[in-house]
Amino acid sequence: MTPRALALSVLLSLAAAPAFAQPAPAAPIAAPGMLRIDVDARDLDRRIFKVTATVPAKPGPLTLLYPQWLPGNHSPSGPIDKLAGLQITANGQPLKWQRDQYNVYAFKVDVPAGASEVVAHFNYLSSQGGNQGRVVMTPEMLNLQWNANSLYPAGVNIQGLQAQTTVTLPPGWSYATALDTERRDGDTVVFKPISYDHLVDSPLYAGAHFQRFDLDPGAKQPVHLNVFADDAKSLNASEKQLNAHRALVQQMDKLYGARHFNHYEFLLALTDKLGGIGLEHHRSSENSADVGYFTEWDKNWWARDLLPHEYNHSWNGKYRRGADLATADFNTPMGDSLLWVYEGQTQFWGQVLAARSGLWSTDQARDMLANVAATFDRGRPGLAWRPLQDTTNDPTIAQRRTLAYRNYQMSEDYYSGGQMLWLEVDGKLRALSGGKRGLDDFAKAFFGMDNGNWDVNPYTFDDVVATLNGIAPNDWASFLRERLDGHGSLIGGLEMAGWKLVYRDTPNDAFKAQETRAKAALLTYSIGATVTDAGVVGDVVWDSPAFNAGLAPGMTVIAVNGREYKSERLKDAVAESKEQKAPITLLVKNFDRVMPISIDYHGGALYPALERIPGTRDGLAALWKAR
Instruction: Report phi then psi at 515, rounded to 5.
Output: -65, -40
How confident is the model over 412-435, as a mean pLDDT? 98
Q: In a 10 Å sphere around its CB, with 0-12 CB exposed, 13-18 middle and 19+ buried, how is residue 466 labelled?
A: middle
d(CA 305, CA 416): 13
d(CA 455, CA 282): 9
Q: Which residues of 103-180 form beta strands (DSSP E)?
A: 103-111, 117-125, 141-144, 152-153, 162-168, 174-177
DSSP 243-272: HHHHHHHHHHHHHHS---SS-EEEEEEE-S
Q: Tell me, what's the pLDDT at 465?
A: 98
Ranking 27-36, 196-205, 224-233, 360-369 by mean pLDDT, the lowest is: 27-36
pTM: 0.94
CA-based nearest residue to 566, from 580, 586, 539:
586
Distances (CA, A) of 516 to 149, 273, 511, 520: 37, 20, 9, 7
Taking a C-beta distance cutoff of 8 angstroms, is the pair 117, 109 a contact? no
3-state SS string over 524-558?
A: CCCCCEEEECCCEEEEECCCCHHHHHCCCCCCEEE
Instruction: Report phi then psi at 593, rounded to 5.
Output: -105, 140
Give 132-185 pLDDT, tens digit per residue: 999 999 999 999 999 999 999 999 999 999 999 999 999 999 999 999 999 999
Give 81-114 pLDDT, tens digit per residue: 999 999 999 999 999 999 999 999 999 999 999 9
Give 180-232 pLDDT, tens digit per residue: 999 999 999 999 999 999 999 999 999 999 999 999 999 999 999 999 999 99
Helix (H) or strand (E) holding 21: none
264-270/284-289 β-pairing: parallel
Distances (CA, A) of 86 to 46, 51, 228, 330: 18, 10, 32, 20
Cα–chain center distance at 355: 19
Helix (H) or strand (E) holding 291: none
Q: Tell me, what's the pLDDT at 31?
A: 57
Sorted by where each begins, the domain ranges of the chain are 12-22+330-497+615-624, 30-169, 526-605
35-43/162-168 β-pairing: parallel
8-state DSSP, 322: B
Give 224-241 pLDDT, tens digit per residue: 999 999 999 999 999 999
**What is the pLDDT of the chain when averaged over all its residues?**
94
Q: How many residues does the chain have?
A: 627
Fold held by 526-605: Pdz3 Domain (2.30.42)
CATH number of 30-169: 2.60.40.3650
Alpha helices in 390-475 (DSSP H): 394-397, 406-409, 416-432, 439-447, 461-471
